Structures are given as structure tokens and as C-alpha cells.
């Protein structure tokens, strides 16, 4: 009886896994097929991989596009980690009367949808002369309320005794943060890093609004542009999708173990 339940559970999990993985399989086999094979529903790998790749590199200035994506994603992730974790640390460690009010105010701001801020934000960056720049792409996300909240929650499990001991040893606040807090919280950082890298890498709406020239475009915008042909070349779109997905998958697998720890709120 128990074995039967276990078998059923296994089958259910396999089905769920298949459904989750299927879009990826479809994308990868699609990248090896022609557009007609794909719309015809062919699921087997084909022989059109190299022509698809060749066409992608012919149509897209891949070096520039990937540089833009990587630069924005890496710088954006690093700056957000520094600013948001500092803020989260501060909010949790330093108790004061106004602290909780400020924090509640911040959380309230989370409910304002981005679409409502888009036009004012655009006007702001435009009057600062920063339209079509890396700064414009990165800056609005650096002080991420969600990330501040996330770091504050995780800092709750940061042992205050460590900070007290460090103070006795004569460390300044920035040294405590740098030499004690960051190493202890590395799982939290890793999880945040994956989330931020993916958010920055996949960012679409804001870069779309604020970027004006081809040499500033990111890979997400490039893929979208490829997909609007009058007779779309799906093989080309699939290979572009594969290339656009690879970095996020790599980052995820590299940090997977820490990600799980971080999401569970682990302090090591």
C-alpha cells in the first residue's frame, strides 16, 4: 500500500517536472529546427542549428548586446546588494522610535505599481540629461524596497552577540559590517544575488522606455524585436532565447546550494 502511494507520488512529481521543463526542451529543440518545422509541431531535434546561429550573429551585434546586458545586470546587482543590505542592516540593528515608521512608509511604497511611476521617472531622468545611459537603466532599482525588507528580515537571525564581541574588540561599525556581517550572511547574499541578477537581466519595460539607440539595447529588447517580423523566423527566435536564458541558468546553478540556504533564512 505504501509502495503504491509512493509510486503515485513519484508519477505525479515526474509529471510536474515534465510540465516545468517542457518549455525549455521545446526552446532547445526549436533552436535546431526551421521556422516551418516549429510551427508544424516538430519536437525532434533538427539540423538547422548552425544556420540559426549564423543568422542570429548576422542580424544582431551580439558582442555589444551581451556586454550591455552583463554590464547592467552585474553593476545593478552589486550596487543593489550593497545599498539594500546596508539599509536592511541599519533598520534591524539600530533601534529608534522613528525607525519603524520610516520602514512602514517604505513598505507602503511597495504597493505603487511601476507603471504609475514610469512617466514621472522618465521626466526626471530626461531633465537630468541621463536618457539612454547605463545610469538610467541601473539607478531606479538600486534602493530596492523589497531587498531592504528581505535583508532586514534575515538580519533578525544575525546573532547580536557577534556584533557586541566585535565592538569589545574595537571594530568600527563599517568593519563589523564588512568583516563579520557579510561573511556570516553569505547565503542571504547569494539568494539575493540570484534574484537581483535575474530581475536585472530580464528587465524589460524600463530599459525599453529609457533606451534610444541600438548600441544600448539589452538582449531582452533584442529578442522582442526579432519576434515581430511579419513572418517570424521561430528558429532564430529560439536560438536567441537560448542565448538569453543561459546566463541566468548558469548563475542559478552556481549559487543553487546557497540559494536554498538563503531562502530558508540560514545563518552559518
Query: Which residues contribute to the site for other proteins (CB under 8 A)?
Result: 35-36, 38-40, 59, 118-119, 122-123, 126-127, 129, 131-132, 208-209, 212-214, 221, 224-225, 227-232, 234
157, 264 in Cβ contact below 8 A? no
CA torsion sign for 118, 122, 77, 56 is positive
What's the min distance (Å) between Cβ of 48 and other proteins? 14
User: CB 117: neighbour CB atoms within 10 A?
Assistant: 14
Torsion of CA 235, 238, 243, 247, to 10 degrees: -170
Q: Which is nearer to other proteins, 75 or 132 (CB)?
A: 132
d(CA 43, CA 31): 11
Q: Which is nearer to other proteins, 39 or 256 (CB)?
A: 39
Q: Which is nearer to other proteins, 96 or 127 (CB)?
A: 127
Q: Which is nearer to other proteins, 82 or 119 (CB)?
A: 119
Cβ partners under 8 Å of residue 124, min gap 6: none
217, 68 in Cβ contact below 8 A? yes
What's the min distance (Å) between Cβ of 75 and other proteins? 22
What's the min distance (Å) between Cβ of 209 and other proteins? 5
Q: Which is nearer to other proteins, 119 or 249 (CB)?
A: 119
What's the min distance (Å) between Cβ of 141 and other proteins? 18
d(CA 153, CA 268): 16
What's the min distance (Å) between Cβ of 4 and other proteins? 39
Amino acid at each position: 500500500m505504501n509502495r503504491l502511494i509512493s509510486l503515485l507520488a513519484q508519477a505525479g512529481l515526474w509529471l510536474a517536472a515534465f510540465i516545468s521543463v517542457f518549455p525549455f526542451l521545446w526552446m532547445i529543440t526549436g533552436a535546431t529546427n526551421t521556422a516551418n518545422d516549429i510551427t508544424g509541431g516538430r519536437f525532434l531535434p533538427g539540423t538547422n542549428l548552425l544556420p540559426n546561429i549564423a543568422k542570429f550573429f548576422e542580424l544582431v551585434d551580439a558582442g555589444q548586446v551581451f556586454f550591455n546586458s552583463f554590464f547592467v545586470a552585474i553593476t545593478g546587482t552589486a550596487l543593489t546588494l550593497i545599498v539594500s543590505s546596508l539599509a536592511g542592516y541599519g533598520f534591524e540593528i539600530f533601534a529608534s522610535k522613528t525607525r519603524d515608521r520610516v520602514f512602514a512608509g517604505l513598505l507602503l511604497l511597495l504597493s505603487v505599481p511601476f507603471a504609475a511611476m514610469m512617466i514621472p521617472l522618465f521626466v526626471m531622468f530626461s531633465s537630468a540629461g541621463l536618457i539612454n545611459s547605463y545610469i538610467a537603466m541601473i539607478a531606479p532599482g538600486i534602493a530596492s524596497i523589497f531587498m531592504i525588507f528581505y535583508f532586514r528580515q534575515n538580519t533578525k537571525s544575525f546573532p547580536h552577540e557577534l556584533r557586541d564581541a566585535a565592538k569589545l574588540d574595537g571594530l568600527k561599525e563599517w568593519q563589523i559590517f564588512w568583516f563579520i556581517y557579510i561573511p556570516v550572511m553569505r547565503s542571504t547574499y547569494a539568494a539575493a544575488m540570484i534574484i537581483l541578477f535575474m530581475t536585472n537581466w530580464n528587465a524589460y519595460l524600463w530599459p525599453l522606455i529609457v533606451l534610444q539607440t541600438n548600441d544600448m539595447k539589452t538582449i531582452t529588447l533584442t529578442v522582442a524585436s526579432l519576434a515581430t517580423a511579419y513572418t517570424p523566423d521561430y528558429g532564430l527566435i529560439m536560438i536567441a532565447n537560448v542565448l538569453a536564458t543561459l546566463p541566468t541558468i548558469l548563475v542559478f546553478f552556481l549559487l543553487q546550494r546557497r540559494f536554498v540556504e538563503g531562502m530558508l533564512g540560514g545563518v552559518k
